[in-house]
Structure 1
Amino acid sequence: MTTATGMPVTEADWVRQRREATEAMPKVLAAVGLPKVLLPYQARAVSMLDSVRDCSALFIEKSRRIGLTWGLAAYAVLRAGRQRTAGGMDVMYISYSREMTREFIDACAMWARAFSIAAGAAEECLFDQGDEEGDKSIQAFRIRFASGFEVLALSSAPRGLRGKQGVVIVDEAAFVDNLAELIKAAMAFLMWGGQVVICSTHDGVDNPFNETIQDILAGRVPYRHMRIDFDQALQEGLYQRISLVKGEEWTPEGEAEWRQKIVSFYGDGADEELFCVPSASSGAWLPGPLIEARMTADAPLLRLELPSDYMQRPEADQKALLDPFMEELAEAIAGLDMAPQFAFGFDFGRVADLSVVSLLAIEARLKRREALALEMRNVPGKEQKRIVGDILEHVQQSLVGAAFDATGMGWTVAEDMGRKFGLREEDDGAGLVWAIKFSEEWYRLQMPPLKTAFEDDLIALIPDAEHLSDLRMMRLIRGIPRVPPHREGGKGKRRHGDYAIALALAHFASRMRWAEFGYRPVQASHESAHGEMTMTAEEDTVRGWWKPPLGTGLRGGIV
């Protein structure tokens, strides 16, 4: 928050503002005694929602930890506790974590007792999600009321809303998986007089939550909107309520000190976490403008898509479909500048996803410049191995490493390439090919160097809209850069961040470099007539795998 002059609010500013505000209150308010149960912003949200007809859909952008969920629990109990003739209906609560759903049901149970509404005890149950892949069930929580309605906590899977009706509350919506699909499923409730409440702290400007907020403010959609930032919550009594609960006396100085601690704790994230100002990207790991700024490489990008019945066609037809691409590939790799060293990354896909190749040239100043990129859709494994093998054979003499996605069927490609060029699985084995079985630890350690390359202008990529989209899909999931589980794109053409993974593998391989060198043994096989030590041709060409001592920062190599 800033002052009228545009400067940040200091602790002293806050003391002065709060003292002036409280001293200006009518003296009669001092005699009111205990405060009303709901704080003003909580009460406003409940009041707006109480009229389903006037407020069928409400989006609330808010600060963290201001007690809005507690207020919404009160509304859930009031709505579910009514008879149908009085507007009663089921209330469904959704959030990104089981702990939040448990807290919400506990708050509802407290409000039910406080309102003296006949309610069954809070209970755990198994609720059928109607999963298309089988009769899977998830754990849910519910409270049943004498009205016949209930408050039910669900998972954030959009399919969980199928066939239901009532009020939907999505809490911390910006952080649930696939929010766009969840909002779409929730809005179906409005057709039969239901109600949708979407509230959240922001998670970036291009998050579906913020995009919908902007549509509301622009008048493009007819939903209602509220905004509650940290300072507004404080002005409406948040810290006074905290002091009351803690049994402490409220003072402007104490509130100002507490406010400053919270703002300092969030640091650079305070604008987004406390003051409802979305950051430049929605948890997107790489901002779009930064990616575009690095798309400066002038190099070939090849795409091969084979028909779904390719395997069933005669061999002559298969050859006719594949040969033009193989000729194009041969021309592309023949045009490579072989002066620099190369690193190769390969993300495997066969049915739902693409197979993607990224070949990076390592320039003298260690900038990684993409020399070739290739995508394959619906290409059988045999053909993929042929294509990948042709590329690796051409650059083998300058190749520092090749990293392959070795999860699932990808292992077969990595294994066959390992037979030709030497296989390395983790730190075991000797050769050019790394077989990577992805884990959170791998992403945690290997993705930050790739981001640094973007930030320090140490990488140059081939310009492509699809590759830009794949890189923008990367999100911080539990603090680790990952590709989210959902896919993007139209039916049959969906992408799953495939290029981002191929690039990450190539960049990883570029940093795992090894060296080839010869050596002379300590003792020669025999001496010359003049007493000089000599070696046989066989001894002069002895080579093997050298593994450096731990902690040296060096990679092993062929010796």
Structure 2
Amino acid sequence: MTVHVDVNELVTDEEWARHRREAVQALPVGLTGKTLPDVLLFHQKELLQATAAYNLVVTDKSRRVGATWGVGADAVLTAGATRMAGGMDVLYLGYNLDMAREFIDTCGMWAKAFAPACSEVSEFLFMEQGEKGEDKAIKAFRITFASGFEIVALSSKPRSLRGRQGYVILDEFAFHDDAAELLKSAMALLIWGGKVLVISTHNGVDNPFNELIQEIRAGKRPGKVVRVTFDDAISYGLYQRVCMKTGKQWSPEEEAKWRAEIYRAYGSGADEELRCIPSQSAGSYLSRPMIQACMHDSIPVVRWKSPPGFVDWPKLMRRVEVARWCKENLKPLLDKLDPHLRSCLGVDFGRSGDLSVFHPLQVRANLSTATPFVLELRDVPFESQKQIAYYIIRRLPRFFHAALDATGNGAFLAEACRQEFGVAKVSEIKLSTDWYLVNMPKLKAGFEDRSFELPLDDDVMNDYRAIQMTKGIAKVPDNARSDGADGFPRHGDTAIAGALAKFASEQKSGEAGAGTLGEERPVASAMEDYGAGFGAIEDRVDLSDFMRM
């Protein structure tokens, strides 16, 4: 029989201890006797691996996927360890009393499973100073361990962390009354070796929780984001655990039915509650003033549309025409590049409908990037684009990386460049929601701190303005089509090339040609030089004589 205890009534310590023992959860029967990795689902293990490696971790999660349950294990292992083994107090802050009770119950279950020496779960009062300096008695819960450390569930007020030290867990952070101030208070604990874990579902795109995630993904704040949607958790075995706990028989059909019912129950709120997509997330990602502040009229946009019927020209004629064009239009720009700076390249591929855009960057000593020019190609054959890509890459000083769009037809050029320059220096990017999720905040950060440069050009402006927040993800929507100044259609092409260039600038691959003077050169390097010499028709053909033939 369940004993109900009204916490507002006076109860003895013995009655309270008995109530808490009865309330404490237990591991499902099928999980008893198993080691911790076997008990945790993949996303729970991923979260604990992150908290072991980072001082600040944020989990961007769906409702009821067991994140807090998994974190309870982390809390017990942390508080139960000695100081020499990394032990510390664990301070839990949910936004209401029921969350605090549930977390302490969960930790009590893990404490029983791990069998460390710990006291009974207890409720206690601590004194907190109010806004006007008055003392207030605040109800809290705690478990103490033989290590001398404890797990404490505190008030959700930012000042409840004052004077404390340890591992802070902010649960359902987006729903706290003063989330921004609470985060500031928690960050102070990092100074003396503490850790901060922020757990929440979303509560709007402008919420401090979503802003924190964007800052970490943009590299503005050190930390790690662990994202788990409802479908992610199901694929990791969430419904099988539900069946284990409820005694139901699992089957794929029952799982699909259960999933559909959950989505129907959430209705229009499913995107935010289950898919980790913050609400009110529509509109342009980059403002016009933000983009224009990074534009410079000294940066040229080079545009080339191949002559009519060019694809049917004889191979040698095409190669020579491309070589002539590169020598006249690209060589003067490439010759001006600073030979002391590292260079990289981003390429968005298009063949007939969309543009191909080449966006080179040079990385300055302060890690800002210089854009020497942007190249737009329209209706240029595959082999000719490959010739142009090789021409640019071979002339980029201290070239270290290129990121190429490998989606659809772009796979040809991306693979060719990987084979030519090596897998360490070329990334073949399949543009996807996950890629945009991670990399678009970094591009935006480049605009916010003005470390990213663009040509002062209306078509380029419109391309970057085409980036929209679509279901919480910044990307160029499929239907975002516009006409350029030349009357031809555009699809945010320079914006994608810029995002790829930004990605390339952050890679750690070595420079082409870098090495110690007098060092024996590897076979791959010699083969690269051989290929360069064989393919560099633009440097070996007397173009004026050829064109007179």
TM over 0.5: no
Give the greater-gyration-radius structure (CA).
Answer: 1
| Structure showing greater relative contact order (alpha-carbon pairs closer than 8 Å, 6 or more residues apart) | 2
TM, length-normalised to structure 1: 0.43
